[in-house]
Every structure is written in C-alpha cells, then in structure tokens.
Structure 1
Amino acid sequence: MLFRLLDNWRAPAPDAGKIAWIKEWEFAHRGLHAPGVPENSSGAFADAIRRGMGIECDIQRSRDGRAMVFHDWGLDRLTDLSGPVAKLDAAQLEEVRLSGSNDAIQSLPRFLDQVGGQVPVLIELKSAYDRRINSLCMEVHRALEGYQGKYGVMSFDPRVSRWFSAHAPRTVRGLVLKDRDFRGPLGPAKRRLAMWHARPDFLACDVRDLPSAFIAAQRGRGVPVASWTVKTAELHTVALENVDALISEGEGLV
C-alpha cells in the first residue's frame, strides 16, 4: 500500500483516454523486417502498415542534430560503412543504404510522412547517460509538431520521459525497463526511482522479465505496459497474459 501511494504521488497514472490506443495495437519491432527487408527500413514500415500493425522504431542523433531512424550507435551491423552514426550529418546518412536492400536511412520527418497516421508509432530515443538529451528531445518534438497520427516516445533513459513531461506534456511518453539494469539489493529501489523521475504515461518491459509483481502493480493502478521483444509463440502467450500491448517480430507476431 505504501509503494502504491508513493507511486501515485511521484509518477501519477495517466488519463485513461490519453493512452487507451496503446492497448488496441500490436507493434512491429523496428517495422516488419525479414530477410531482404532490413529493420527500421521504409520497406519494413510499409509491410507493417499493410498488415495493419503499429510500428516501433528507433532514433539516433546525426552530427548536425537531426533525428534519424536507426537503432545502433554504429553503422557497422546494418550498412556497408563503419563508425558512429553521430559522425555523419543527416544528408550523408540519408545516402547510406541499409544492407541487403535499396532502402536508405530515413530522417524522422520522412518516416512520419511515410506512415501518415495510418497506424500508431512508438518512437524509442536512444540515449546514453554521458550525453545530453535536450537537443535530441527537442528535435523529435519539432518533428512531431502537427503530426496527426497516434504516437508515443520512449527511452531507457528516464530523463527523456521527464523532458517530455516538462516541455511537451501532451505527448504520450514511456519508460523502457529491463531487470538486468536493476540487479543487486538496491535494484528494486533504483527501478522505482527511475520511474518516479521519468513520470511516464506507460512502461515498456522486457518480455523475459514476465511475470513481474512490479509490472502487475503498475498495471493495477492504471499505467499501461507494453512488452518487447516478443520473438516466439511462447513469449507471445506470456506477454498476452501479463501486459497490455506487444512489440513483436519474427515468430512472435500474431
């Protein structure tokens, strides 16, 4: 009871109408990618839209401060180039082809133009604790201004959700969690402090951490929870029993 009271004070549950849409969709993790259709590519997003799925994508910052749709800190795994994403300007990154396709890295505005409100999107901002987050949050906020579709932003970094709480409170914002980040005797306390600092509208947890008493308690007080990454039919069943929305890929897709 004490923790519930503290949670309600430090990280109040959102208005149900603001976040109801999250519970109505399954989200394709980095788009509906497959061999020949890379993750976070325009082809993967187009396939998700055709299938009637929401989209989860990732955002990295270019050297000139633009929000780019890309997961890794480095270019090595997903392109024929190497080195940090942040060493190239947006115009240069938009010329970089994703391996195994003709699709290039997209900017966030171009991605939003492609989706055009047809399906909801969850936008994960990649952040590191030794980096400032204000400029990336501001760039994402600017890209989303005037966008008519359903969207939410989220991050492992509680500062991101806190920034949107302070500067764009109408934006649906989430905190991404995994138990591996909160190991040790002080882990549960650190997890709660992260949530209190973030003041999120929703949580996104690692499906491998389910079932979870913490997650059940947050859902019980009206905070919706999504789960990532649902990759198998077994994990799909676990997620359905314990959370409100699934972020899925591969065999975990319905």
Structure 2
Amino acid sequence: MTSADWIKATPIAHRGYHDLNKEIWENTLSAFSRAVEAGFAIECDLQYASDGVPVVFHDDDLERLCNLKGDVRGKTSSELSLLSIGGTKDKVPTLKQLLQHVNGRVPLVIELKGREGDDEGFAETVLEILADYQGKVALMSFDHWLLADLKAANCPYPVGLTAYGKEPEALALHENAMALGLDFISYFFADLPNPFISAQRQHGTPVITWTVRNEEARKITFEQADQMTFEGFDPRM
C-alpha cells in the first residue's frame, strides 16, 4: 500500500480548471495552467493513442471535443497533436507534455480510460513516462484490469478505484477491486452514503468524489468523503 493521504488536502479540478468549455476547454494545457495558478490539484484523463503514447483526452471518439468523426485510438499522438480542442489554440496534449507543463507545481490525479482487449502496455508505458517526474501523482481507473496491471508493475504511486453505484452487485465488484491493494477511491457523490464507502473510510482509505458542481454535492462530499473533484465554480468562494 502507498499512502494517498495527500489527496485529501486540496480541491481537485475536474479535467483541469476549465470554464465549462466556453473559452478554456477540459483536459487542455490552458485548463491545467489555470489550475496551477489557483493552486488546485488536477484531475485528467488518459487515452492510449495508436502509436502507444498516452494522451490527455476523455472521450473515446473525437466528435464532442474536436468536431471530427473518428476514434481517438485510431490516431497517432502526432496526429492528435494537430487537432484543435473546441476550436481553440489548444491541441491534444501527451502525458509527457502535461508533466512538463505542470512540473510538480500541483498534484496530479490521473485516470486511465481503458478499453478491454486494447490496453496491452498502457499501464506500463504510463509508469515509464512518470519515472523521472518530481511531483505528487496518483493513478486511478474504472477498469479493474488496468488497476491490476498497475499493481503488477509495482506502481510506486497511489492507485485508486474510480466507481459509482449503490446496488449490492456493484458494491461487491468494488470490494473485489480493493482486494488488489488499492490506496484510495474516487466515487460518484450522488451514490453516497453506502456501506462500501463507509467501511473503506473506517479502514482509513481516502475517498474523493466526482463530479461536484453545486453546493448540495459539496455538502455530501464533506459529510461522506474527504475531498472533491469539482468543476464550474471556484471552491475558494
């Protein structure tokens, strides 16, 4: 187990500190700059480009963010680096560019977006790129096989489960994932409280929530968890 207690300390900007994709778009260097300036931790997403390079991008397809048809995994990182996000000057960054840009100034909470049967080498490549990074990093995923890959590769960073649900079947699956020796949990705020999260917190497992957009969600977070992943407002206000 690796301590993830630091993840409780600072509000976490969901996909960077964007402005709901008006001028500053999600998962861009501009959104990450804004988070650094405000002193917020950064949550972001990784996809695995066709040339085996992790890139910072949420969706499986390009339409919502780039106004193009196509699968993000069908493009190389070089091809993606030419695509405008939301018609802005920002392009799709690689993980390496994210690390160079943030340079340890704020913590990073990085979610690996898996695709079953198409993730060979994904976890290991992420760890290789992170190897010389000087800064706080945590890795997480919804996808149990990626969590298992990270643990099998002796990940030196906190590894967390991203999850949701209240039904017993869902909670049983989450319990199975925690048996991998995970270090923290990122949970959907509207599915709190539940017995799984209550038990994990009693064991001392840090819990953050996603995605907090209003005062009600913030209230639930700090009643049932330790820190929030937020968007659309300034949590300092």
Q: What's the TM-score once normalised by structure 2's chain length?
A: 0.93
Aligned residues: CA RMSD: 1.5
Partners of 1:187 and 1:161 in 2: how far apart?
Answer: 17
Of residues 149, 158, 161, the one that matches 1:172 is 158
TM-fit CA distance, 1:220: 0.8
| In 1: Cα distance, 2:118 partner to 2:51 partner | 14
- Aligned partner of 2:43: which letter? E
CA distance in 2, matches of 1:253, 1:235: 12
Return the letter of the residue paired with 1:145.
Answer: A
Q: Which residue among 144, 154, 159 is the counterpart of 2:140?
A: 154
Work out whether 1:127 is the aligned partner of 2:114.
yes
Identity among equivalent pairs (%) = 35
| 1:189 is the counterpart of 2:139 | no
1:73-222 map, 5 Å:
73-128=60-115, 130-179=116-165, 183=167, 186-196=169-179, 198-222=180-204
* In 1: Cα distance, 2:141 partner to 2:113 partner: 7
CA–CA distance in structure 2, aligned partners of residues 252 and 125 of structure 1:
26
Unpaired segments ≥5 residues, structure 2: none
Q: Distance in 2 between matches of 1:70 and 1:95?
A: 14
CA distance in 2, matches of 1:187, 1:226: 18
Equivalent pairs counted in the alignment come to 234
- The list of structure 1 runs, each at least 4 consecutive aligned residues, that deviate by more than 6 angstroms after superposition, is none
Do residues 67 (structure 1) and 54 (structure 2) align?
Answer: yes
Shift of 1:100: 3.5
Q: Aligned partners of 1:39 and 1:173: how far apart in 2?
A: 23
Distance 2:105 2:177 in 1: 33
Q: Give the TM-score taking structure 1 as reference length.
A: 0.87
Equivalent position amino acid for 1:155 in 2: S
Distance in 1, Cα, partners of 2:163 & 2:234? 20
Tell me, yes or no, if the aligned pair for 2:212 and 2:228 is still in contact at 8 Å: yes
CA drift at 1:132: 4.0
Gaps of at least 5 residues in structure 1 are 1-13
Determine helix, strand or coil for the equivalent of 2:24.
Answer: coil
